[in-house]
Amino acid sequence: MHDDETASRELIRLMTGPWVARSVAAAVRLGVIDHLEGGPRPAPELAEALGLDPDRLGRLLRLLAAVGVVRRSPDGHTLTATGERLRRDHPSGLRDLALLYDSDLFTRAWEHLPEAVRSGRTGVDLAHGTDVFSLLEADPHEAARYAAGMAAGARFVRDLPGVYDFTGARTVVDLGGGSGELLAAVLDHAPGARGVLVERPPALVAARHRLAAHVEAGRCDLVEGDFLATAPEGGDVYVLCRVLHNWSDAEAGRILRHCRRAMAPDGRVLVVERVLPDAHDPWLSLVFDVHMMVMTTGAERTERQYEELLRGAGLTTDRILDLPLEMRVLVARPVGP
């Protein structure tokens, strides 16, 4: 294959990436993925069970086999390890993420990427006439889908207690803690710690369910609040997981200043984000950086950019720890008195 053909094929692969993603989401929505659980099924039998056109289903399955979602055999089609993660009952929850990425909220916002780059406005504002958080508060159905997708994309939080030792913590404050998955993992691993989760009312519904056992044991408080306005006082560890990347430098700095004022003198702030290394550009983090540009006023920031924000809040980087999928934990400590 000549170099010019290789380059052309690679460019076409990149340009048709959204078609593959929509094909995967279509297989989820049509029930194809769930009906392939448990063994090979011939395409005609699957089409009849789902009320689909046999020829067109066969063509969709052929593409899914080519990209590694299903496997073809003489007996029919089965799910690969990749495809298994799209099942409704799979613990990864990645089915919810596939449906969120294929949602009208995301796809319409991404259609406005050129204008977002040109104007400095977000794709969500250009597509929907408001910011993403106001839109979600006004639409419970969209908010539920968003929360499910975000929870699926945050399974890495289970690894957090393995890279940062919470056993000496007295009070862990999780600002914008969503469904409570992260705080639950922390409290499970640090039996001497007490937790405080701060969220808007819609998100507290899921958190009450996930953290019920810890709340009943008197180890956790759920607080309705706005981290842009304040932070609960007295914590010795403040966690900001996928929070700062949603906000501009001015707003992110304000959140960090609230933490600095509220924290114990020997406290720490954990910034859990795709912190971009200063020395190189990891592609997955850069994809999410452009996604932040489309969806929010925030960004995925470099180590140096985070240090500038921290310094403005009276904090500095103590160390940076690695998590799966290019996530990192920036541990910040106070500077001076």
Which residues are the active-site residues? 245
Side chain identity, residue 311: R
Side chain identity, residue 77: H
Pairing of strands 237-241, 220-224: unpaired
Residue 245, CB-side half-sphere exposure with 13 Å CA sphere: 25
Residue 272, CB-side half-sphere exposure with 13 Å CA sphere: 25
